[in-house]
Structure 1
Amino acid sequence: MEISNKKRTTKIKRTFNFSMVALLLLTLFFVWKENNVGALISGGILVLCVMAVQFVQINYIYYSSEGNKILIRYYPLIAFFGKEYNSIEFDKHLLYFAKVKRIAAFSDLYIAIKTAKGIAEYPEVSLVGLSKDEIGLIENDLNALLKK
């Protein structure tokens, strides 16, 4: 099974960029008109939006369970300090634990595998950029592997 949220994340990124440019232009307009209150409000909204997007951590995600391996590639959609590309790849028979934790509108994927030295846990992967159906498909696929 393959899942990629490229189309959805492209729309999210374009919407975010357009909104931020519009807010920046609005802030500059208020500065030019010497409307300090308007500039402070629109500038504050701009800063809050940027901080919120950094907190939410929307990722581009590629999930594949084709063949004998599980492959998860992800990187932050909007990063101001450089993109950090991450990849998780392991044999299906090594899967020890997989769980999707949902808190409100946020979903994170936790994975642990068996190694020669014990259990290794991967860092959590934010699934905010995926739809509920895609998250359910990943969860069902991993649960089916755990039952084998």
Structure 2
Amino acid sequence: MSLRAIAYVSDAVEDLDGAGIDHILAEASSFNRVAGVTAVLMFDGQRFVQYFEGPDDGVDSVYQRVLNARSHVHLRELAHGEVATRHFPRWTMASARIDAEVLSGIVDTEWRGFTAAAPVDGQRRVGFARMLELWTGVSGELEPAAVTLGS
């Protein structure tokens, strides 16, 4: 079975509070489980970055929900395409609150698909590798415990 992934950044709507984020996470986790999709969501208080992966039909279903969600605006796709393996196999929806500068470092770097390769000769990691490093650490150990975004 082929796997596909999508990563995007978007702006949270102004009135989104902790309880609203908790609701989003609970609904997304349930939907993703049924769709066979695993995902991570990062939030800096104003912007979201989400990465999700799974079978084609599951990713399509999740992406339609994302595109129609009223919790965010100005969605910009960072990358989409096939992945050889799941990077977050145990999380239907992990979440973390991160610093705005860290989020900018992920979003504002080049995204070349979903390669997790280490940089060569001291080059900076590109978008996906920087996001993956945030979740797995520099040495690529297994996923740490997720931190809840909401209340």
Tell me the TM-score normalized by structure 2.
0.24
Decide which structure has greater helix share: 1
Larger RCO: 1 or 2 (CA < 8 Å, sep 6+): 2
Greater radius of gyration (CA): 1
Tell me the TM-score normalized by structure 1.
0.24
Decide which structure has greater strand share: 1
